[in-house]
Amino acid sequence: MTADPDTGAGAGPERGTVFAFFNEIGIIAQLSQALLGKVLPDGVHPSHFAIMNHLVRLGDGKPPVRIASAMQVTKATMTHSLAVLERRGLIETRPSAEDARSKLVYLTVAGRSFHAEAIAGANRAFGRIVGEPELQTMRECIPALVEIRKLLDENRDPGE
């Protein structure tokens, strides 16, 4: 069976366009997470920062189970991560107005400040290695990456 050059289906050593694309994104994600981890304070993991970033990007007041689904982690993992952030005073949980049995997650003022400082630290770290040509490439790639993220988000379970 010959490989489909775009999907890599049936490929042995040939990776195909789709695999090569997501492979590069995966490697970039690993390298950028490692760099981000170096600028975050001890005890705050990039996955904790991702929760805060999610709340900044999509808004406060989300139930933990919804955040866990967005992060694609278990409820237990999310409970642990939220506890770390809450102990540090970066988030708070409040009862839901619609369902008192349910909690909603909010960033605190300290959490918003931490988020902004972490982004500034990441920008400084990335700024040491990224020049204007790379910035221009990134600017050009962002719209396409947003579209691919939306496509993947809308199709989380390809079996359906």
3-60: per-residue pLDDT in tens? Answer: 555 555 555 545 688 889 999 999 999 999 999 999 888 778 999 999 999 999 999 9
Cβ neighbours of residue 49 closer than 8 Å, sequence gap 6 or more: 36, 40, 115, 118
Are 47 and 107 members of one domain? yes
**pLDDT value at residue 100:** 78
Long-range contacts of 123-127 (CB under 8 A, 24+ apart): 124/39, 125/35, 125/36, 125/38, 125/39, 126/32, 126/35
**Would residue 1 count as lying in a domain?**
yes
Are 31 and 79 members of one domain? no
Beta partners for residue 104, in sequence order:
94
CA atoms within 13 A on the CB side of 129: 6
Are 63 and 136 members of one domain? yes
Question: In which domain, by residue range, is 22 found?
Answer: 1-39
**Would residue 127 count as lying in a domain?**
yes
Are 49 and 99 members of one domain? yes
**pLDDT value at residue 6:** 54
**Would residue 109 count as lying in a domain?**
yes
66-115: per-residue pLDDT in tens? Answer: 999 999 999 999 999 999 999 999 999 999 888 878 899 999 999 999 99
